[in-house]
Structure 1
Amino acid sequence: MSLREIKPGNRGYLYVNSHPTGCGAVVDRMWQQTPEQVGDRPGPVALVIGSSAGYGLAATLVGLRAHRMRGLGIAFESAATERRTAGAGWYRTARTAELAAEAGSDFTFLNGDAFSDGVKDEAADRLADRFGKVDLLIYSIAAPRRTDPLTGEVHHSAIKPLGADYRAKTLVFEDGAPRIGELHLPAADEAERDATVQVMGGADWQLWIDALQSRGLLADGFRTVALSYVGSDITAPVYRAGTMGAAKQHLEDTARAINTRLQGTGHAYTVVAGAAVTQASTAIPSIALYTSILHRVTGDSWQSTSDQAVALWDRLTGAAEPDLDDQGRIRLDDWEMDPGVQAAVRGAWDRVDADTLADSADTGWFREQVGRLYGWDVPGVDYGTAAETAVPWPASPTPDA
């Protein structure tokens, strides 16, 4: 037992401690927001890479509750130490596993570096031993660096513009109070661009498909999706027209390469999701201000990661049309990219300053959402009560369990 009263210990958008009870409560909320499958028909065998956070977590929970998904989730999370709690994704995974077991879903989790050959081998072994073939692979990884398993070179991603420096407004919090700041990012050089593509592009997605295909683990009609983002022209200089955009373009090009490799036996799609407050997105300059304004504009029409995961699963299962764009991508961002919404966001962005911030942007909501990424600011959680921090990683069931 390791009961502790935990304090957040944050600096800006980064928290050094997560709260086990709060993280579990966040998962519970997402679970309850998902419609439950009627009947006990077993669902597809799925591999979710990046299952502990963001869209990967949402897709995992929707797959389990609404579609009785079976299979394996992969995440890379840190365990608790004497000084710090485990990572928030560790606690979210532990609660997800409990809910999956309660629902009777045959799903387990692997903690390790998905970029490595060792994790690919272990995942393939587990899938082969228990399920035979995989129907669906969901790829949702956001990472700061990647070690190329072929060369051993470590690539570090850089969130920067391309071609010219980037200057823009940004949202910062000082002592919990929001204010408008000024951001200046120098343009990336070619090496930084290429490294970002190596980390956040499609190279590892392709390696996963190759690893499963070489083991004969792709079912007939296999489908795979990787999460992408387009976003507004407001954020384009630092995102879609920047190093991240180059990586996303590579991801989308990889989908076409995978389709060529599958030769009609399956299909690969990139999925353009809408804006969200995630641990990955909070690291992108200016996205906090843009997202706060977007939420103020959209109000009740805002689509959470759970809402978008429900829509994605409907498209993957045939319950809804794929809704592909002219580049063959599944689009989940129509609510964000609606011309009227974007015009309203642009107007608020242009006029927002210290005097208009409170009216133009939903900063209180954004600040709460960031806290909840780490299990803080969750209604109903007693943060004055000691919590168990040494939560075990979910055990793998035996083949005949």
Structure 2
Amino acid sequence: MIIQPRVRGFICLTSHPQGTAQHVKNQIEYVKSKGTIENGPKKVLVVGASTGFGLASRITAAFGSDAATIGVFFEKPAAEGKPGTAGWYNSAAFENEAHAAGLYAKSINGDAFSDDVKQQTIDLIKRDLGQVDLVVYSLASPRRTHPKTGVAHSSVLKPIGQSFTDKTVDFHTGVVSDISIQPIESEEDIVNTVAVMGGEDWKFWIEDLKAAGVLADGVKTVAYSYIGPELTYPIYRNGTIGRAKDDLEATVPLLNKLLGDIHGTSYVSVNKALVTQSSSAIPVVPLYISLLYKVMKEKGIHEGTIEQMQRLFAERLYADHTPLDEKGRIRVDDWEMRPDVQEEVAQLWQQATTENLDDISDIQGYRDDFFNLFGFNFPEIDYDADTNELVNVPSIAG
């Protein structure tokens, strides 16, 4: 079938198998160009492995240190005449590239919050790898059915205490406008968001993996967070999502205690603002990112997800010394948060209008990154050509 992008708001309803494969290949080539990660991981589990930072982590582990990888995700395969999700095609492309390079790569498609998928993963590790020495936790989901209580929780993106009004942009049209978001109506909004996006499920994973004996001595585990600039605090770090991130970060000492007898260590890595399916849904963030991209590209310090993850692995997780901030977090948002970068972004923020956006921002770079997520806007791909939508992940039937 011929697959073109169909967009509704911040979601692209279609994805392109050849385009997503190109996206994966580009990331692999970048990691290979950086050379071998000294003392890198060899047997890796990535929970949330099909897009964004999780996919980039899997690529970095595999092609940066020849690691065997197991990826867990919840994606929809293609049906005849209907493309699969981008994450499904990403995972198919990754496995094909890994297998061609002689690397072990298998995947599990299902609800990573469930006990059943955790057990499937444990069984696969026992059967094929014995133990893993790195667990990456990179889940991004709007909903979670709690495996112990059966309660379905849905996260919300809201400020706490008072409404929030500021600029935003429709990145498709380039129209800059004001947006107002009402605050939470009850503490239940916070409870639900923390239940979905906090650290409890990460802790459940590590508890179950350790109890099953599939964590190697000296294992590392890392989850991903974001802080961002003050202008996004009301909607992000000081809002409901921020409470969830606080909970995620508070899980680190609990996991370090749990892993102490096997000399394991847990980390939260605070990453840079980037175009992901999740960040595109957050008001204010697309405008901030388009301005940030402009500034960082002009300074020669821009990074995408793969550059961030390669630097995290090579210069933080597997360096001789892992530098941490005052709260015990890894910071690979350090270039984003440089005072000179933030000062310039803040100045541009005040100036930003629909009329001048193309001149003072990298809104086109934002659009390209957004469509790249779904396999579009790659010059190597002929999007008017017929393509086979029925692509399978090799290790998963169907």
TM-score normalized by the length of structure 1: 0.94
* Matching residue of 2:29: 32
Structure 1 residue 12: deviation in Å? 3.1
Residue of structure 1 aligned with 2:244, choices 239, 242, 247:
247
Residue segments in structure 1 that go unaligned for 5+ positions in a row: none
Q: Which amino acid aligns with 2:97?
A: L
How far, CA to CA, are the matches of 2:347 and 2:7 in structure 1?
Answer: 32
Structure 1 residue 231: deviation in Å? 0.7
Kindly indicate whether residue 91 of structure 2 is the aligned counterpart of residue 93 of structure 1.
yes
| Residues 181, 69 of structure 1: alpha-carbon distance in 2 compared, 3 angstrom cutoff | same
How far, CA to CA, are the matches of 1:361 and 1:178 in structure 2?
Answer: 10
* Matching residue of 1:309: 309
* Matching residue of 1:297: 295
1:110-154 CA-partner distances (Å, limit 9, x unpaired): 111110111000000000111111111000111000000000000
Structure 1 residue 13: deviation in Å? 2.5
Residue of structure 2 aligned with 1:198, choices 175, 195, 200:
195
How far, CA to CA, are the matches of 2:176 and 2:72 in structure 1?
Answer: 38
* Matching residue of 2:281: 283
Structure 1 residue 396: deviation in Å? 6.1
How far, CA to CA, are the matches of 2:127 and 2:203 in structure 1?
Answer: 23
How far, CA to CA, are the matches of 1:218 and 1:314 in structure 2?
Answer: 22
CA contact (8 A) 1:314 1:320 kept: no
How far, CA to CA, are the matches of 2:180 and 2:139 in structure 1?
Answer: 27
CA contact (8 A) 1:297 1:341 kept: yes
Structure 1 residue 39: deviation in Å? 11
| Residues 39, 219 of structure 1: alpha-carbon distance in 2 compared, 3 angstrom cutoff | closer
- Worse-superposed segment, 80-89 or 329-338: 80-89
Residue of structure 2 aligned with 1:179, choices 153, 175, 193:
175
| Residues 83, 191 of structure 1: alpha-carbon distance in 2 compared, 3 angstrom cutoff | farther
How far, CA to CA, are the matches of 2:39 and 2:168 in structure 1?
Answer: 48
Look up the SS of the partner of 2:335 in the other structure: helix
- Worse-superposed segment, 79-88 or 305-314: 79-88
CA contact (8 A) 2:41 2:133 kept: no
Q: Which amino acid aligns with 1:26?
A: H
Structure 1 residue 317: deviation in Å? 5.4
CA contact (8 A) 1:303 1:335 kept: no
- Worse-superposed segment, 85-94 or 12-21: 12-21
Q: Which amino acid aligns with 1:393?
A: V
What is the number of equivalent residue pairs in this alignment? 392
How far, CA to CA, are the matches of 2:178 and 2:311 in structure 1?
Answer: 36
| Residues 384, 235 of structure 1: alpha-carbon distance in 2 compared, 3 angstrom cutoff | same
Look up the SS of the partner of 1:226 in the other structure: strand
How far, CA to CA, are the matches of 1:239 and 1:40 in structure 2?
Answer: 36
| Residues 312, 40 of structure 1: alpha-carbon distance in 2 compared, 3 angstrom cutoff | closer
| Residues 83, 167 of structure 1: alpha-carbon distance in 2 compared, 3 angstrom cutoff | farther
* Matching residue of 2:345: 345
Identity of aligned residues (%): 37
TM-score normalized by the length of structure 2: 0.95
CA contact (8 A) 1:16 1:84 kept: no
* Matching residue of 2:66: 68
* Matching residue of 1:270: 268
| Residues 340, 129 of structure 1: alpha-carbon distance in 2 compared, 3 angstrom cutoff | same
- Worse-superposed segment, 29-38 or 256-265: 29-38
Residue of structure 2 aligned with 1:226, choices 223, 229, 232:
223
| Residues 317, 335 of structure 1: alpha-carbon distance in 2 compared, 3 angstrom cutoff | closer
* Matching residue of 2:56: 58
1:142-188 CA-partner distances (Å, limit 9, x unpaired): 10000000000000000111111111111114xx4311022111111
Residue segments in structure 2 that go unaligned for 5+ positions in a row: none
Superposition pairs of residues 140-151 of structure 1, within 5 angstroms: 140-151=138-149
Structure 1 residue 234: deviation in Å? 1.1
How far, CA to CA, are the matches of 1:103 and 1:229 in structure 2?
Answer: 33
User: RMSD value over aligned CA atoms?
Assistant: 1.9
Kindly indicate whether residue 151 of structure 2 is the aligned counterpart of residue 153 of structure 1.
yes
1:247-269 CA-partner distances (Å, limit 9, x unpaired): 00000001111112222521111
CA contact (8 A) 2:27 2:56 kept: yes
Look up the SS of the partner of 2:179 in the other structure: strand
Look up the SS of the partner of 1:335 in the other structure: coil
